[in-house]
Amino acid sequence: MKELSILVVVTIFTLLTYFLVEPFAHSQMHKHVESEAFVYKDLPALTKKGDVAHGKELVMGAGACINCHGIKVEGIQSPMDPMIAVQAFGVNTPDLSNVGAVFDPNFLAMHIKNPTHALMIEHRFDESKGQMHPMPPFYGSGGDLDQEVADMIAYLQSIAPKAEELTPKMAFETACGRCHTINYPYTKDGKAHPAWTQIGEKPTFKKKQDALAFETKVLDYQDKLKKYMGALPPDLSMYIRSRGEHYIKTFIENPQNYLKGTAMPRVGVNAECAEKIIEHLKDVGDSKRHMREEIGKNIMIYIIIFAIFAILWKKEVWRELH
């Protein structure tokens, strides 16, 4: 049993070293932030029950949403193309078709009433200094403000896709895709998806001129965005490996947790949508994970059988040596 005690000693020292350089060292190097499960405790909960028809009237009319936003599912094109929008606001205005499914309702309500507070970027937009957020707050159209906001949200939720129809890719594009690129194309369920830019999927061009023209447009957009945000938001292709699931979730939940004063807004997604964003980042940056699990299982079985045969061979050979 001498061999066994040697193995125990080797294992203990190996595990001790591992513990010290991995879990322990990382706990000392990185701030640990617990997720709040995307409930946004600081935002007041909606108390009124919304009326879809009235909400629609407000969105189309007094709310003046469609002056800047498109709603494709309702056949309303954005009044500005992304290049004009970025020129005017520093970032493209989002289409509202999916927002009811992607964002938390309490967050949406605060976003309508007070965008910089919802986005946690009040440090960047001080009205007294004339720093206005591109989206003006909605002060109401004469009725009860909270009721009107609840109506608008009810409407936005009524036109949004059902949770099961919202794909990880859609969730990512609505929540992250106007600032962040995904340079790596990927394939999912046999379908190939091109790279993502802030102005949409990168098309395939037959002529080089067209490809260069598109590239120029993206670069122009990124220049404006950079000016608005202070730095170009990073490409997210490998973020699932470089940051990991926990960091990404707690970061989008409240970017100020990690980077005090960052221009990155609170994203405001609901918990389900956060999972979908993670899944999309895995589809892009860890696309072989299912294969890895499957092959891993088979190779482990193979190696265990190999080890059993190796042990039997040793016993056979050593029978006459003892």
Partner 1 sequence: MAHFTKATSLHDWLNQRLGIDTVRRVMATEYWIPKNINFLWAMGMILAITFGLLLVSGIFLLMYYQPNVATAFDSVNYTIMQEVGYGWLWRHIHGVAASVVFLIIYIHMFTGIYYGSYKKGREMIWISGMLLFVAFSAEAFSGYMLPWGQMSYWAGMVITNLFSGGSLHANGLVEWIRGDYVPAQAFLSRFFMLHVLLIPLAILGLIGLHFGALRIPHVNNQDGEEIDFEAEAAKYKAGDKANSKVIAFANDFMSKDMMVVGIYLIFFFYLVFYHYDFAMDPVNFDPANGLKTPAHIYPEWYFLWSYEILRPFSTDVGLIAFAFAQVIFFALPFLDRSPNTVPASRRGLFKFWFWAMLIDMIILTAMGKVPPQGLFSTIGFYAALTFIGLWILLPFITKFEKKV
Residue with Cβ nearer partner 1 (173 or 283):
283
**Of residues 166-185, which lie at the interface with partner 1 (CB under 8 A)?**
183-184
State which residue, 139 or 318, has the beta carbon closest to partner 1: 318
Which positions from 27 to 56 touch partner 1 by CB under 8 A, shown as an x/- string?
-xx---------------------------
Q: Does the protein bind partner 1 through residue 22 (CB under 8 A)?
A: yes
Could you give the CA distance from residue 221 to residue 217 in angstroms, rounded to a whole number? 6
Q: Are the beta carbons of 104 and 38 closer than 8 angstroms?
A: yes
**163 near partner 1 (CB under 8 A):** no
Residue 205 engages partner 1 in binding (rule: CB under 8 A): no
User: Of 156 and 284, which CB lies nearer to partner 1 in the complex structure?
Assistant: 284
Distance CA 179, CA 286 (A): 22
State yes or no: residue 1 binds partner 1 (CB under 8 A).
no
Give the separation between CA 104 and CA 34, rounded to whole angstroms. Answer: 19
Burial of 255 (0-12, 13-18, 19+ CB in 10 A): buried
Q: Which of 8, 15, 20, 219 binds partner 1 (CB under 8 A)?
A: 20
Burial class from Cβ neighbours inside 10 Å (0-12, 13-18, 19+) for residue 61 reads exposed
Q: Which residues have a Cβ under 8 Å from the Cβ of 284 and sit 6 or more positions away?
A: 182, 184, 186, 236, 237, 240
Cβ distance to partner 1 smaller for residue 5 or 128: 5
Rounded least distance, CB 31 to partner 1, Å: 11
- Rule CB under 8 A: is residue 72 a binding residue for partner 1? no
**Closer of 205 and 306 to partner 1 (Cβ):** 306
128 or 298, CB closer to partner 1?
298
DSSP for 66-134, written as a single string: GGT--BGGGTB--SS-HHHHHHHHSSPPPPSTTHHHHB-HHHHHHHHH-HHHHHT-TTT--GGGT---S
Size of the site for partner 1 (CB under 8 A): 52
Sign, Cα dihedral of 310, 312, 317, 319: positive
261 binds partner 1 (CB under 8 A): no
Under the criterion CB under 8 A, does residue 212 sit at the interface with partner 1? no
Is residue 259 a contact residue for partner 1 (CB under 8 A)? no
Residues within window 215-244 making contact with partner 1, judged by CB under 8 A: 237-238, 241-244
Please choose, from the candidates 40, 111, 33, the residue with its C-alpha nearest in 3D space to the C-alpha of residue 270: 40
Tokens of 208: 């080089």
Going by their DSSP bridges, the two strands 200-201 and 186-188 should be labelled as unpaired
User: Closest distance between partner 1 and the C-beta of residue 238, in Å?
Assistant: 5
CA distance 168 to 146: 31
Stretch of 21-29, 50-58, 78-86, 158-166 lying at the interface with partner 1 (CB under 8 A): 21-29
- Residue 293 binding partner 1, by CB under 8 A: yes
* Binder of partner 1 out of 8, 10, 45, 73 (CB under 8 A): 10
CB nearer to partner 1: pick between 5 and 47: 5
Q: How far is CA 133 from CA 10, 67, 118, 178, in A?
A: 61, 16, 12, 17
Hunting for tokens 């990073």 — which residue is that? Answer: 234
List residues binding partner 1 (CB under 8 A).
Answer: 2-3, 6-7, 10, 13-14, 16-18, 20-22, 24-25, 28-29, 183-184, 186, 237-238, 241-244, 285, 287-288, 291-293, 295-296, 299-300, 303-304, 306-311, 313-314, 316-318, 320-322
